[in-house]
Amino acid sequence: MRLAAEVDALAAQLRDSRARIMDLEARVDVDPLTDVLNRRGFERELRRSLAYVKRYGTSAALVYIDLDGFKPVNDRHGHGAGDVVLKAIAAALVRNVRASDVVARLGGDEFAVLLWNVNGTNAAAKAGALEAAVYGTPVRWSSSTLVVGASAGVVLLGALDTPADVIARADAAMYARKNERKGVASLPLRREKEQVTQ
């Protein structure tokens, strides 16, 4: 009887340990601050997406997002404020994509979104909508309202692409978009600089 009780106790411990291991394995791919995928999880999903595009001829796009005006948030209000802004931006991105799409924080103030079953026109429109969603996510911090913008570069995934190819193209597209927005001196870029300094 005592042996049976010990076996039951060990079986319960084993179940608990397995559940904990599964939870830890899942968390390895999640950014602990924003609760979206981290770079490791994103790269896994990107490889999976490229394999799917190659095998089935489906369409997918990568939107590479860099926040505009984020550094002044950290510089003027501290990293606590920056963390709150990053959490709010991640949540806004998740709210503005489909459940089948993938949102990740690649590090610092860079995010990526994998979009499924989109053409170039729809992907570009979604990138613009995500820029607007970021700008439309003000964060209250003490007596300030913190507003940042975003520059989003978008590329379609091709059957012959490697993950490095897609990321490099998307990164280049994001910098082109950032330069375009600076060159136009768009209202959102001016307004975010004004609001962050409050």
- Give pLDDT, residue 51: 96
User: Is the CB of residue 127 less than 8 Å from the CB of residue 75?
Assistant: no
* pLDDT for 40 beyond 50: yes
Digit-coded pLDDT (tens) for 117-168 = 999 999 999 999 999 999 999 999 999 999 999 999 999 999 999 999 999 9
Long-range CB contacts (within 8 A, 24+) of 123-130:
123/61, 123/63, 123/154, 123/156, 124/154, 126/61, 126/63, 126/97, 126/154, 127/63, 127/152, 127/153, 127/154, 128/152, 129/96, 130/63, 130/65, 130/93, 130/96, 130/97
* pLDDT for 170 beyond 80: yes
- Give pLDDT, residue 190: 38
- Give pLDDT, residue 23: 65
Q: What percent of the chain has pLDDT above 70?
A: 88
Give the pLDDT band of residue 189 (cuts 50, 70, 90).
Answer: very low
- Give pLDDT, residue 195: 47
User: Is the CB of residue 102 less than 8 Å from the CB of residue 118?
Assistant: no
> Mean pLDDT across the chain, nearest whole number?
89
- Give pLDDT, residue 53: 95
> Is 68 a catalytic site residue?
no
- Give pLDDT, residue 192: 39
Give the pLDDT band of residue 197 (cuts 50, 70, 90).
Answer: very low
- Give pLDDT, residue 108: 95
Amino acid at 179: N
* pLDDT for 97 beyond 80: yes
Phi, psi (degrees; rounded to nearest 5) at 3: -65, -40
Q: Which of helix, strand or coil describes residue 36?
A: coil
Tokens 């394999």 correspond to what residue?
51
28 half-sphere exposure, CB direction, 13 A CA radius: 10
User: Which of 31, 101, 109, 171 is the catalytic position?
Assistant: 109
**Comparing 44 with 21, which gets the higher pLDDT?**
44
| H or E stretch at 27 | helix 2-27
Phi, psi (degrees; rounded to nearest 5) at 140: -80, 130
